Amino acid sequence: MDLSSYFLTLEYLLMTSTFIALILIFLYAYYGKEDEQNRES
């Protein structure tokens, strides 16, 4: 495995993990806010 394919694999891994993290943050913010409203009432 040469150096360019190594960095390309690393780039795809970082992009995928960032994308998953953003989705999880969005879901936590959305459902966390909804859950907080349910607890208050």
- Distance between CA atoms of 22 and 41, rounded to whole angstroms? 29
Give the CB-side neighbour count of residue 39, counting CA atoms within 13 A: 6
Provide the whole-model pTM.
Answer: 0.69
- The alpha carbon of residue 12 and the mean position of all alpha carbons in its chain are separated, in whole angstroms, by 14
34 compared with 9, residue with greater pLDDT: 9
What mean pLDDT do residues 32-39 have?
A: 74
Q: DSSP states of 6-34 as a string? A: HHHHHHHHHHHHHHHHHHHHHHHHHHHHH
- Distance between CA atoms of 8 and 28, rounded to whole angstroms? 30
